[in-house]
Structure formats: structure tokens, C-alpha cells
Amino acid sequence: EDKVVQSPLSLVVHEGDTVTLNCSYEVTNFRSLLWYKQEKKAPTFLFMLTSSGIEKKSGRLSSILDKKELSSILNITATQTGDSAIYLCALYTGANSKLTFGKGITLSVRP
């Protein structure tokens, strides 16, 4: 069975800190890895990663995939209270485009 494990499960930091969120996976047919941010509503798409070693960046957020280590990290620099959310890692596997999600990482940014 495909598995996606995120760590840590929760994290509390102060504004201005830099955080690194981890996602590791065991899947039989990797296609791509996605990161989402979920506040009290819809998961919002952040990044899609398909190739190892190529960093994707959007403002203070960046992410990279390591297919050798079967993992990905999501970095957030200069955190703000608005970054408080659950960060979800998900993988596309197999032929039918379904996403397998991890349980998510709850990030709390204190002022």
C-alpha cells in the first residue's frame, strides 16, 4: 500500500523563523509530489514536483524533491502568522491520477 509520512506532525515557531517541513513516501509507481496549504477551508495548491533536485520557489516558500531519498521538503523563510495552517503532502501514483495524502503538518506561527 502506498504510504506518505509527514514530519513533524506539528510545529510552533515565532514570526521571522525559518521552518522546514518533511515528507517521505513509499509508493510503487511515483508520478509526482504535490504540496498544499490548508487553512479552515479548501487545500490550496502550492507546488508540484516531478524531477529530483530542481527547487521550486514562490515568494518565501520553496520546495525540492529527492527521489533517491524518497522525500521532499517544504521551506518557509521569515514566517508570518498568516503561514499558520496545515501543510499537506500528496503523491500521484499509478495510472488513475488519484492523490495519496499524508496526515499533514500543523504549523503555528506566534507573533
Partner 1 sequence: NAGVMQNPRHLVRRRGQEARLRCSPMKGHSHVYWYRQLPEEGLKFMVYLQKENIIDESGMPKERFSAEFPKEGPSILRIQQVVRGDSAAYFCASSQGQGALTEAFFGQGTRLTVV
Q: List contacts with partner 1 (CB under 8 A).
A: 4, 31-32, 34, 36, 41-45, 48, 50, 88, 90, 92-93, 96-104
Question: Least distance from C-beta 69 to partner 1, angstroms?
Answer: 20
**Neighbouring residues of 60: CB distance < 8 A, sequence distance ≥ 6:** 76, 77, 78, 79
**Residue whose CB is less far from partner 1, 10 or 18:** 10
Question: Least distance from C-beta 111 to partner 1, angstroms?
Answer: 26
